[in-house]
Structure 1
């Protein structure tokens, strides 16, 4: 490996373009050498803003470009599996934005391919694990400072949903973050899912069942409740409170600068996830680059992507049928223990 890791970025939409910017400006030891997107005009625009970057409409061609030593996947979820499998064929480390795959069948195929290689090369972009507040909460829970955990109370709110957002995506694209965070914070698997739906907010597009309350049961006997509200109209807010037998701790209150003037006080609520978790994305990418440069991965992997997909599938059924749905997982392969 050279001292600078060459990265092929697959997908140049909002997330992909943000990662291209991040690699160029805030992450050392790496550079973008190829980008791919079905939108030929957009990919040429992104590549044209950088020196020595080739533009492609085919992900495989981008991965085959000279100097590519790792792959960052930021394309839509249904395209992830094929791209990851192509990267594994080339034995390239992969950082894939969530979801790793939209379903468990695809996730199992990814794990099978990785097991044939005999080493872990896939990392899933669950960036909350790199957020300073989440890391501190994880430390408290691991140290037993709060006693045995009983509840996680989670709130996940967006200003407004994009035009393409569906009711299913509330689970598969939004709550999936809380699914992974809960598994990681508690060190437990999710064993069952229930979904409750109040009357839809008048701010939601027709047909979108927003907000929803998702209840997750864990293998250690804890309960996780997630309020997902993607058209709250106020700001982007992510909070988590852990309640244990010996105390509680809450993160995500967003206490930054508070202004007191003209008989009032107040502050700013961020409007976008790329602002709220900017530092977490930076830290995630730096650590991935450092590991990928050694042909390794050091974050949430294919098993985590599979487990999240399994919980999401159960959540979709729970939401549609109005029943509690058990989460069924395959035995954890030795590679992921």
Structure 2
């Protein structure tokens, strides 16, 4: 792909996240166009494709990836479908931006990791969008510079106003805390070695089947401790906050102190409604970065190894959640391919 060509992208899965990426590629970023959309709901894919000039609709992701108009793939289908889509993309030697999770479990993620290594070069950027968020990038820079000394603790809060009725305890780890898993590994440059999950009395507003909130604790191979409050039904909005406690100071992001208003004897600001609103700019940066790197023939951002490591930590987290015991993370040796 030359730096002057327009990247033809196939978007696989056009539910909420996929449709938002279609909008992003079509209306926001530069250097790419939506050449194809694919969804198990063929009518949904067709309806979306009809709104985009030159876009073809498919019910089969493999058929979309085989199109000569497609230069790269953005996978936004449900996690259980990712392995097959990734392996198909590898068969066509297509660059991929894959929404998290890489796959739903460590064993399938390891298969994808081995398949990418057989290609002999990285093909996948994984969609952990917080790495592209301005606040997280600033925190990463502060920690890497070392002005505050060695990080000792991370305090993380992850709150949603509500979740769908099908949301389960395991999804608190696999769908929500997985972001803190990746941020911990990225911010600290350390692997997570053990997970403990503590459960307070559930909120009276939490669905009966959901033990919400929970406190998740990570231990790392660098000696840091990380606590994550996951509160999926807080009711008042969407909040993601992180504080790094270091040897010579602290750094905190996510306070949401943008515009403050003063009126009628009160002062205050706003809390975002959901992740799409809070991380809109990060998603824009992520997809633009992927397009730019792909046109240069490069791969940036989180790798398949990062996806595998996150899956392994989440498996330990779900075990800790169900047993109530501290659970060690079983992680394969990191290949030199990903260093």
8 Å Cα contact 1:216/1:223 also seen in 2: yes
1:88-139 CA-partner distances (Å, limit 9, x unpaired): 1111011111110111111111111111111000111000000000000000
Cα offset, 1:201, TM superposition: 1.4
Match of 1:53 in 2: 55
Instruction: Find the aligned partners of 2:42 and 2:140 in 1 and give their Cα distance.
Output: 43
1:180 aligns with 2:150: no
Match of 1:273 in 2: 275
Instruction: Find the aligned partners of 2:75 and 2:84 in 1 and give their Cα distance.
Output: 11
Match of 1:8 in 2: 10
Cα offset, 1:164, TM superposition: 2.2
Q: Among 24, 28, 36, which residue is 2:30 paired with?
A: 28
Q: Which range moved further: 199-208 or 163-172?
A: 199-208
Return structure 1 stretches of 4+ with deviation > 2 angstroms.
Answer: none
Q: Which range moved further: 131-140 or 63-72?
A: 63-72
8 Å Cα contact 1:92/1:295 also seen in 2: no
Cα offset, 1:203, TM superposition: 1.8
Match of 2:96 in 1: 94
8 Å Cα contact 1:270/1:276 also seen in 2: yes
Q: How does 1:320-335 map to 2 (within 5 A)?
A: 320-335=322-337
Cα offset, 1:165, TM superposition: 1.2
Match of 1:108 in 2: 110
1:52-77 CA-partner distances (Å, limit 9, x unpaired): 11111111011112311110000001
Cα offset, 1:296, TM superposition: 2.8
8 Å Cα contact 1:92/1:121 also seen in 2: yes
Instruction: Find the aligned partners of 1:165 and 1:65 in 2 and give their Cα distance.
Output: 36
SS at match of 1:274: helix
Match of 1:189 in 2: 191
Instruction: Find the aligned partners of 1:133 and 1:313 in 2 and give their Cα distance.
Output: 28
Q: How does 1:156-171 map to 2 (within 5 A)?
A: 156-171=158-173
Instruction: Find the aligned partners of 1:204 and 1:57 in 2 and give their Cα distance.
Output: 37
Cα offset, 1:200, TM superposition: 1.5
Q: How does 1:83-162 map to 2 (within 5 A)?
A: 83-162=85-164
Cα offset, 1:146, TM superposition: 1.3
8 Å Cα contact 1:154/1:240 also seen in 2: yes
Instruction: Find the aligned partners of 1:118 and 1:130 in 2 and give their Cα distance.
Output: 26
1:303 aligns with 2:305: yes
Structure 2 runs not aligned, ≥5 long: none
Instruction: Find the aligned partners of 1:47 and 1:252 in 2 and give their Cα distance.
Output: 36
Structure 1 runs not aligned, ≥5 long: none
Match of 1:72 in 2: 74
1:211 aligns with 2:205: no
SS at match of 2:332: coil
Q: Which range moved further: 163-172 or 152-161?
A: 163-172
1:31-88 CA-partner distances (Å, limit 9, x unpaired): 0100011112211111111111111111101111231111000000111111001001
Cα offset, 1:163, TM superposition: 2.2
Cα offset, 1:202, TM superposition: 1.9
8 Å Cα contact 1:171/1:315 also seen in 2: yes
SS at match of 1:209: coil
8 Å Cα contact 1:93/1:296 also seen in 2: no
Instruction: Find the aligned partners of 2:200 and 2:134 in 1 and give their Cα distance.
Output: 33
1:261-292 CA-partner distances (Å, limit 9, x unpaired): 11111111110111110110010111100111
Cα offset, 1:256, TM superposition: 1.3
Instruction: Find the aligned partners of 1:278 and 1:324 in 2 and give their Cα distance.
Output: 35
Q: Normalised by the size of structure 1, how large is the TM-score?
A: 0.99
Instruction: Find the aligned partners of 1:40 and 1:124 in 2 and give their Cα distance.
Output: 26
Instruction: Find the aligned partners of 1:213 and 1:20 in 2 and give their Cα distance.
Output: 35
Match of 1:220 in 2: 222
SS at match of 1:210: coil
